């Protein structure tokens, strides 16, 4: 079957390009986390791990686009699952790590003193729980895959079939709700501390990173949460096969955006990450020169205003 009959070529190549950009961006976050000691706090390490699994998701999304370019459609659900297993595992890790990062921020602003005394073994336990959860949810799909059922286009939603699809959608929907509640609680708590002028230095430190995570969670709600919510609706309401296939294709945009934008968010919102990115790519001098020029121009304008 011709590729243009299932997924339009412009859509394939555009999503492929975004996925490649996302892969480079996420690998950049991983590199600066390893390279820069100032970005090796517990929360930063969690962000680095999240970027690592986002990078794997991007590789998986690139892999699926290559299959489309090679016109590999109409494959068995077993083959689709085997092609997708590593990417599905990374998607589940991405989802669960997002919750762990949210819990880290909430605990930080709720118990600032206790947070500094928190053992690293707690984080190790949480990460192991994420791995176990992701492994169980991912490979439950193999039990329900079939060598006789045909998948027209291999995508994350179509890699799961039967009960495994329900388990995957349901578990990720619950995690998505928890992520939103946890981040919401962290923001409320941070505002309370700022209003009461309690632990001002701690609140300011947390607030800087929280600003970045605010944008990340906004993207999360508009992409991953919307994706999972749409899949929940598709499980409850029966659509025609053509409508279901179109929904799955369009949701691919949201999955790609969710996995690809973190680099740009941290570059925009977090000065420590921005400096580390610029140093990594040897652009720090260029931006420092531009910044100095802007400051000088600002001083000239201010002095002119005074003379007037």
In tens, the pLDDT along 209-259 reads 566 666 767 787 888 888 899 889 888 887 787 787 788 788 888 889 888
CATH 3.30.70.120 given to domain 9-271:
no
| Helix or strand run (H / E) with residue 76 | strand 75-76
Indicate the pLDDT class of residue 304, thresholds 50, 70 and 90: very low
- In whole numbers, what is the pLDDT of the chain averaged over residues? 83
Indicate the pLDDT class of residue 300, thresholds 50, 70 and 90: very low
Indicate the pLDDT class of residue 197, thresholds 50, 70 and 90: low
d(CA 308, CA 299): 14
The 8 Å CB, 24+ separation contacts for 44-53 are: 45/123, 46/97, 46/100, 46/101, 46/104, 46/123, 47/101, 47/266, 49/97, 49/127, 50/94, 50/97, 50/98, 50/101, 50/262, 51/26, 51/27, 51/262, 51/263, 52/26, 53/90, 53/93, 53/94, 53/97
CB 157 within 8 A of CB 165: yes
| Global pTM value | 0.85
| Alpha carbon 128 to chain centroid, angstroms | 19
Q: Return the domain boundaries, the chain.
A: 9-271
């Amino acid at each position: 079957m011709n590729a243009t009959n299932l997924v339009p070529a412009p859509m394939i190549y555009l999503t492929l390009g975004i996925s490649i950009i996302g892969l480079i961006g996420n690998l950049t976050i991983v590199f600066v986390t390893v390279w820069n000691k100032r970005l090796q706090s517990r929360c930063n390490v969690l962000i680095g791990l999240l970027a690592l699994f986002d990078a794997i998701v991007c590789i998986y999304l690139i892999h699926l686009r290559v299959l489309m370019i090679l016109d590999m459609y109409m494959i068995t659900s077993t083959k689709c699952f085997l092609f997708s297993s590593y990417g599905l595992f990374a998607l589940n890790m991405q989802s669960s790590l997002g919750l762990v990062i949210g819990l880290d921020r909430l605990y930080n602003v709720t118990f600032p003193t206790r947070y500094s005394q928190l053992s690293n073994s707690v984080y190790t336990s949480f990460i192991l729980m994420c791995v176990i959860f992701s492994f169980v949810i991912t490979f439950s799909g193999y039990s329900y895959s079939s060598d006789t059922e045909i998948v027209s286009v291999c995508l994350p939603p179509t890699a799961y079939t039967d009960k495994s699809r329900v388990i995957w959608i349901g578990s990720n929907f619950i995690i998505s709700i928890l992520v939103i509640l946890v981040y919401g609680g962290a923001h409320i708590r941070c505002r309370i501390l700022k209003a009461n002028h309690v632990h001002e230095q701690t609140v300011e430190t947390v607030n800087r990173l929280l600003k970045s995570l605010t944008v990340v969670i906004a993207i999360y709600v508009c992409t991953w949460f919307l994706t999972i919510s749409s899949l929940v609706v598709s499980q409850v309401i029966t659509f025609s096969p053509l409508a279901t296939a179109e929904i799955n294709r369009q949701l691919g945009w949201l999955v790609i955006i969710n996995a690809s934008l973190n680099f740009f968010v941290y570059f925009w919102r977090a000065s420590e990450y921005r400096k580390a990115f610029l140093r990594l790519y040897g652009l720090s001098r260029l931006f420092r020169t531009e910044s100095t020029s802007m400051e000088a121009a600002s001083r000239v304008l201010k002095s002119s205003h005074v003379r007037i």
